[in-house]
Amino acid sequence: MGIIKKIINSITKPRAKYQPLIEVRIFKDALLHNLYTYQQKYPKLQFAPVLKSNAYGHGLVEVAEILDSQDLPFFMVDSFYEALVLRRAGIKSKVLVLGYCREKQLLENPLDNVSFGIIDLEVLKKLSAKLKEPLNIHLKIDTGMHRQGILVEEVEEAIKLIKANQNIILEGVCSHFADADGNSSAFTEKQIQQWNELVKVFKQQFQDIKYFHSANSAGAYYANKTDANICRLGIGLYGFNVFPHESLNLKPALEMRSIITSIKTIPEGEKLGYNITYAAPLQMKTATVPVGYDEGLDRRLSNNGWVKIDDMFCPIVGRVSMNMCSVDVTDVDVKIEDEVIVISSHREDKNSVKSVAKETGQTVYEILVKIPWYLKRIIT
């Protein structure tokens, strides 16, 4: 009876077509262009795409599907959950989970072709004592970031623990540059020196380590000085060069679009929005766009930001609300359901990620990852 009930429920379930009011467009050609740009610029390195935090707001599965056919060493994520999502979505590429995983997940790992970062000596001790099935690990070493990784003085003990259990397969060794995108290279050079000495130690102790990696996107610049064969490509993959001393022809890969849902005329002197922070200087025409701070439109853009309609920049007027904002369309011929570009993929536009970050005193990372996961991503 249970199976019959499920079939009936499936047949009688409402089937309604739904076109969302907001779409996040992901440009496949831009993503691949950025990847190829790095590959050509730094031929010494292989590049492992960083897909954590919903692929920096671009869509975890969507970006993985674009890159799954590329010849890449692995996809890097932060959590076991992200790796699980990729496997459930049918992604075949190798995955590295570089964030913390619970002991049970490591000891009973059900996922194929997934490796795990070991970021603390206590975790390694537990694995050495308890692991009964082969597990690929990347040992993370703290060379100066002081956030994750075993300390340099713990390396000798870590090597003994790995050798004590043949099920621990040391597939990679990694670290993380703390200031690769900074104006001075002094701290990065210091980290590189320490890193290179550690790599020598591991190469002497283990003959079959496949991966050595310490660089993020900005750190690729130091490829010729660093004894490593992998760069973890994060923000650069998505079209943003955060390294101040080198120009790269990258293309932002994301754009957010919505529509106009209301149009009205506001008399001169009338105020609008929460806390009535805006007064019409003259009679004006405004439009409502169903995007607010819940959808990733920063509240600091109230009376301070822009959207793009019919190739014209229209200022945001009044407070950005939770699920909507008002824009000045006095000089634009508009109608209900006309398209609105909320976040532009053209970096010099007033409403690009780069411009919004500058206007709100944030980084491009923050703007991107605040775009909610539930908004529909469309690959174009």
Give per-residue pLDDT as tens, 142-193: 999 999 999 999 999 999 999 999 999 999 999 999 999 998 999 999 999 9
Rounded CA gap, 197 and 291, in Å? 51
Measured between alpha carbons, how far is 263 from 180 in angstroms, rounded to an integer?
48
What's the pLDDT tens digit per position in 291-309? 999 999 999 999 999 999 9
Q: What is the pTM of this model?
A: 0.93
Same domain, 309 and 205: no
pLDDT band at 8 (very low <50, low <70, confident <90, very high): low
Q: How many CA atoms lie within 13 A of 158 on its CB side?
A: 27
Residue-wise pLDDT for 64-106, tens only, equals 999 999 999 999 999 999 999 999 999 999 999 999 999 999 9
Regarding whether 215 and 82 lie in a shared domain, the answer is yes
Helix axes 186-205, 155-163, angle to 10 degrees: 30
Rounded Cα gap, residues 71 and 62, in angstroms: 17
The CA-atom distances, in angstroms, between 214 and each of 39, 105, 210, 319 are 17, 25, 14, 43
Q: Give me the mean pLDDT over the 265-270 stretch.
A: 96
Q: Is the pLDDT of residue 360 over 80?
A: yes
Residues 64 and 211 in one domain: yes
Residue 363 domain-assigned (yes or no): yes
3-state secondary structure of 253: coil
Domain endpoint, select from 177, 198, 233: 233
CATH number of the domain residue 297 falls in: 2.40.37.10
Residue 245 lies in a domain: no
> Of 277, 375, 359, 269, which is closest to residue 318 (Cα–Cα)?
277
Whether residue 51 contacts residue 95, with contact meaning beta carbons closer than 8 Å, is answered with no
* For residue 1, pLDDT beyond 70: no
Q: Do 307 and 357 have their domain in common?
A: yes
Answer yes or no: do 225 and 258 share one domain.
Answer: no
Tally the domains of the chain: 2
Residue 14: inside a domain, yes or no?
no
Residues 216 and 265 in one domain: no
Q: Are residues 193 and 314 in the same domain?
A: no
Partners of 72 in beta bridges: none
How far apart, in whole angstroms, are the C-alpha atoms of residue 55 and residue 76?
A: 10
Residue 90 included in any domain: yes
Tell me the Cα Rg of the chain: 25
Report the pLDDT value the prediction gives residue 380, as an integer from 0 to 100: 96
Average pLDDT over residues 201-210: 97
Residues 79 and 219 in one domain: yes
Active site positions, annotated: 52, 274
**pLDDT confidence of 244, banded at 50, 70, 90?**
confident
Q: Which domain holds residue 55?
A: 28-233
Last residue of one domain, picked from the residues 178, 203, 233: 233
Both 204 and 318 in one domain: the answer is no
Q: Look up the CATH number of the domain holding residue 44.
A: 3.20.20.10
Strands 254-259 vs 339-343: parallel, antiparallel or unpaired: antiparallel
pLDDT of the residue at 245? 76
In a domain, 318, yes or no: yes
pLDDT at res. 18: 80
In this structure, is residue 87 part of a structural domain?
yes
Residues 221, 105 within the same domain: yes
2 pLDDT more than 80 = no
Q: 222 and 293: one domain?
A: no
Q: Closest by alpha carbon to 317, among 331, 332, 329?
A: 329
Tokens of 225: 């000085």
How far is residue 233's CA from residue 76's CA, in Å, rounded to a whole number?
9
The reply to whether 301 and 360 lie within a common domain is: yes
C-alpha to C-alpha distance for 20 and 376, rounded to whole angstroms: 7
Last residue of one domain, picked from the residues 233, 267, 285: 233
In a domain, 5, yes or no: no
- The answer to whether position 113 is within a domain reads yes
